[in-house]
């Protein structure tokens, strides 16, 4: 496993000069609604070679681009790939007009309708589960009932948590799925979110860049690192705010 380093250390290396720099979102660029240190410098250094590749399943690329612009981070929607949106777009390509039991926040609900997917929780062809902070206990019961009935599941991402603004774990889509499988142990789901390499490969195709000419920066070896390895992309592990970076670890070791 690579040692975590600060974003400033990465910026002082040749890494940002790669043909494409892929970056995770939560814990790397943002912490809640706070822009993390040196991120504006990253955008200035990389320009249109920077791509956001995230397991976010609340936003669409368009709604996230608007939010980032408000925070002073001008990344266009065309260079943002999100697990929730990509799940719906993949589903539309594979099964146009499918009847979908969609458990997701408003941006994905709107996108699903725009893509021609038909919302149906009574007799769905399949179920899509994303992160929705407004999910109720009744919704959970409905998801469990559909899983018990054998309805195929597309899980937008398997993450159990993502780091909140103060580092506190925030429940993610994988935590919801853990509750479902606790009730229906035989339930299975398909996901293109990291650690699967799908999002990274799509970013590389859009950028027209070979894996060897790209680098991916993320804060979670189990998802970001595994996805990078599967896609054949070099991986840089960033230290989360407040966590010891490599140089700190080295100084501590030398003082012992």
pLDDT surpasses 60 at 148? yes
Residues 88 and 178 in one domain: yes
pLDDT surpasses 50 at 161? yes
Average pLDDT over residues 182-187: 97
What residue ranges in the chain does DSSP mark as E strands? 20-23, 30-31, 34-35, 50-54, 80-82, 99-103, 118-119, 126-129, 153-155, 161-163, 169-171, 214-218, 234-237
More confident residue, 163 or 89: 89
On whether residue 136 sits in a domain, the answer given is yes
Which among 162, 204, 216 is positioned nearest to 2, based on CA atoms? Answer: 216
Average pLDDT over residues 235-250: 65
Cα within 13 Å of Cα(97), Cβ side: 0
Domain that holds residue 104: 84-183
pLDDT surpasses 60 at 247? no
On whether residue 79 sits in a domain, the answer given is no
On whether residue 61 sits in a domain, the answer given is no
Name the band, by pLDDT with cuts 50, 70 and 90, for residue 213: very high
Name the band, by pLDDT with cuts 50, 70 and 90, for residue 243: low
pLDDT surpasses 60 at 238? yes
pLDDT surpasses 50 at 253? no
pLDDT surpasses 70 at 242? no
Residues 102 and 171 in one domain: yes
On whether residue 1 sits in a domain, the answer given is no
Task: Say what percent of the chain tops pLDDT 70.
Answer: 93
pLDDT surpasses 60 at 246? no
Strands 169-171 and 161-163: antiparallel
pLDDT surpasses 80 at 248? no
pTM of the predicted protein model: 0.91
Residues 93 and 153 in one domain: yes
Residues 90 and 113 in one domain: yes
On whether residue 62 sits in a domain, the answer given is no
* Confidence at residue 254, expressed as pLDDT on a 0 to 100 scale: 34
Q: Is the omega angle on the peptide bond into residue 195 within 30 degrees of 0, that is, cis?
A: yes
pLDDT (tens digit, 9 = 90+) per residue, 111-143? 999 999 999 999 999 999 999 999 999 999 999
Average pLDDT over residues 25-54: 94
What average pLDDT does the structure give for the chain? 92
């Amino acid at each position: 496993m690579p040692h975590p380093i600060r974003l400033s250390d990465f910026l002082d290396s040749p890494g940002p000069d790669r043909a494409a720099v892929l970056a995770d979102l939560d814990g790397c660029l943002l912490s809640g609604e706070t822009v993390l240190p040196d991120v504006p410098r990253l955008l200035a250094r990389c320009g249109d070679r920077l791509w956001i590749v995230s397991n976010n399943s609340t936003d669409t690329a368009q709604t996230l681009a608007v939010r980032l612009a408000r925070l002073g981070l001008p990344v266009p929607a065309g260079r943002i790939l999100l697990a929730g949106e990509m799940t719906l777009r993949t589903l539309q390509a594979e099964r146009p007009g499918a009847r979908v039991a969609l458990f997701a926040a408003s941006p994905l609900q709107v996108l699903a309708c725009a893509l021609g997917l038909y919302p149906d929780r009574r007799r769905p062809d399949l179920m899509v589960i994303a992160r929705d902070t407004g999910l109720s206990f009744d919704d959970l019961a409905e998801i469990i009932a559909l899983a018990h009935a054998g309805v195929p599941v597309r899980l937008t991402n398997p993450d159990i948590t993502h780091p909140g603004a103060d580092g506190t774990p925030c429940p993610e889509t994988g935590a919801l799925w853990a509750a479902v499988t606790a009730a229906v142990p035989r339930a299975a789901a398909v996901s293109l979110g990291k650690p699967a390499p799908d999002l990274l490969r799509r970013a590389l195709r859009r950028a027209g860049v070979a894996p060897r000419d790209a680098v991916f920066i993320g804060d979670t070896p189990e998802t970001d690192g595994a996805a990078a390895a599967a896609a054949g992309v070099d991986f840089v592990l960033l230290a989360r705010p407040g966590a010891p970076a490599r140089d700190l670890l080295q100084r501590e070791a030398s003082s012992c």
